[in-house]
Structure 1
Amino acid sequence: MALNLFSAHIAYLYTELPLLDRIAAAAGSGFTAVEHPQPFAIPATEMRRELARHQMVLSQIAAGTGDASKGEKGLAALPGRQADFREAFNRALDYAIAVDCPFVHPMAGVATNADVSAVTETYHRNLSYAVDRASGTSVKILVEAISEAAVPGYFMSTLDHASRIQDVFGPGNLSLLVDTFHARANSVELERWIPSNVHRIGHVHIADHPGRHEPGTGSIDFEALLTALVEHGYEGAIGFEYIPSTTTVVSAAFLPRWRKFMAAKFKQMRQDRRPA
């Protein structure tokens, strides 16, 4: 696992700062990566330069988020919007390649007024397009189950649904973005889910539940979660997509403890595996 790859979701964190300045702020707090669904206001060359300056990486971006002013939360599952989705995906893929970002997340969206079979077919066709376009590049495709509690009507709201979608394409082509807040909202205990499903995970999002604030503000046992990830060989980034209950800098005070905890878990795991 990339032990130090803790990724700040800078659409949620450091929002008092201009977008570009959030990278330096995240580095100052101890994050070693950033992510943002739509970072395109920063040209790829400038993003790459700023990431290198702070020894950071861009861990994942989204594609086809749609028009937020119209309540859109993605285009991939919306019948009749295939051309818009493909244009947005191509832009995101080109950007990801240019900045060495490993994942693009085509967001499914809310299609409550459309026929379910048409929505399902549209989503599969658009994911097929995304997987095919990313094939042969350094970029892989992510999909995320976004809970009904957070986004009513989101097409893919459960990990079971996301896993079935993934099985169509294979974990090598399409990975799951697993979010602790959404999982708990759906009554899923990830420390129990991970042992049989760690091979499915490409990226993890952290937020406590309820409230969607930083770890320690809710009911999730993050030590159990981190232990499960380490012990079952998770090798991706851990992203923090939470709403700070205070300033971002103060809310991120847990990072050194998490790094120390995970280092101890890795050390113990290596010792346990050492031949007698």
Structure 2
Amino acid sequence: MQNRFSAHIGYLFSDLPLKERIAAAAGVGFTAIEHPLPFSIPPAEMRDTLRRYGLSFSQLSGGTGDASKGEKGLAALPGREIEFREGFNRAVDYAVAVGSPYVHPMAGVPGAASPDHVHDVYRDNIHYAVERTSNTTIKLLIEAISEISIPGYAMPTLEQACNVQDVFGPGNVSLLVDTFHAQANGIKTQDWVVANIHRIGHIHIADYPGRHEPGTGMIDFDAILEALAAHDYHGAIGFEYIPSTSTEHTTAFLSAWKSKQLHQLVP
């Protein structure tokens, strides 16, 4: 079974209207897409569009807050519990309708709230999310987002994400591991994968520094692919990078990645 190569169409093909990005992703060889807020496309229309282009939907976010105000999630924000749960419920319904296996309840930036209060609110909201998805095809996906990207984010390290997962179990909560955020925190993703493959539900690819496409920075992506293959990772590999030029130009690496993956799958 091959991994799905998933285009984050919030970052890629951003010069196109949202629906046109789906066709563009298929056109350069991606086999899946993802977007935190795809709701402007009704779920039936999204499902039909995915089917037309032979794509699947990898993950979306729930309870994100008001993006126009720069909010990055509500799950850890005291006083926003009702808004979080309403947004999360909407995302779950959408995910079920389009066949996405994961919803990501973003933690957010709690500001001056006390750490203990933030912890309690986040734990209660994740408990709600686990209960809400317990009889569905959806699992939770949580991500450590580094301080370099979102200062003050409530869950900036993989260690913290692991602690949350240990409370609720890998059967309920999977980790989204982002190569850029890991490297920003001094972690080599390939080494972390070897020790923690059972925790991972989704991978995000972006080089470091710069957060551009593979080959523009210091990350050893060959080693990451080898580690994933050696440990039978069959989830999606998502590409959430800032294109250094046009998206089409920056996806030239895809054919080589697919060839490497096929080679690794041959006994």
Please give the range of the TM-score, normalised by the shorter of the 2 chains. over 0.9
Which moves more between the two structures, 247-256 or 63-72? Answer: 63-72
Measure the CA separation in 2 of the matches of 1:4 and 1:55. Answer: 15
Equivalent residue letter for 2:182: A
Checking the alignment, whether the CA contact within 8 Å between 2:3 and 2:234 is kept in structure 1 is: no
Instruction: Give yes or no for the alignment of 1:190 onto 2:189.
Output: yes
Task: State the AA in 1 paired with 2:128.
Answer: Y
TM-score (normalised: structure 2): 0.99
Which runs of structure 2 are paired with 1:236-275 in the superposition (5 Å)? 236-267=235-266, 270=267
The separation in 1 between residues aligned to 2:150 and 2:111, in whole angstroms, is 12
Note the 1:203-218 alignment, pairs <5 A.
Answer: 203-218=202-217
Output the amino acid matched with 2:133. Answer: A
Give the structure 2 partner of residue 80 of structure 1. 79
Matched, 1:96 2:101: no
Could you say which residue in structure 2 is the equivalent of 1:132? Answer: 131
Indicate yes or no: 2:153 matched with 1:154.
yes
In structure 2, the residue matched to 1:117 is 116
For residues 229 and 171 of structure 1, the distance between their equivalents in structure 2, rounded to whole angstroms, comes to 18
Distance across 2 between alignment mates of 1:221 and 1:86: 39
- 1:71 Cα deviation after fit: 2.4
Task: Show the counterpart of 1:143.
Answer: 142
What secondary structure, in the 3-state scheme, does the structure 1 residue paired with 2:18 have?
Answer: coil
Distance 1:77 1:192 in 2: 29
Q: Please say if residues 6 and 33 of structure 1, whose CA atoms lie closer than 8 Å, have aligned partners that are also in contact.
A: yes
> Cα deviations across residues 152-189 of structure 1 (Å, max 9, x unaligned)?
00000000000011000000100000000000000001
Structure 1 runs (4+) greater than 2 angstroms displaced: 68-71
- Unpaired stretches in structure 2, ≥5 consecutive residues: none
Deviations 1:198-230, CA, capped at 9 Å, x for gaps: 000000000000000000000000000010011
CA RMSD of aligned residues (A): 0.8
CA distance, structure 2, for counterparts of residue 31 and residue 167 of structure 1: 32
Percent of aligned positions that are identical: 61
Q: Is the 8 A contact 2:142 2:173 kept in 1?
A: yes
Deviation (angstroms), 1:68: 2.3
CA distance in 2 between counterparts of 1:135 and 1:157 reads 26
AA partner of residue 24 (structure 1): A
Other structure's SS at 2:207 match? coil
TM-score (norm 1): 0.95
**Deviation digits for residues 126-151 of structure 1, max 9, x if unmatched?**
00111111012111100000000110
Post-superposition Cα deviations, 1:72-98, rounded to whole Å, max 9, x if no partner, equal 110000000000000000000000000
Residue 35 of structure 1 contacts residue 58 of structure 1 at CA under 8 Å; is this kept in 2? yes
Q: 1:4–1:32: 8 Å Cα contact kept in structure 2? A: no
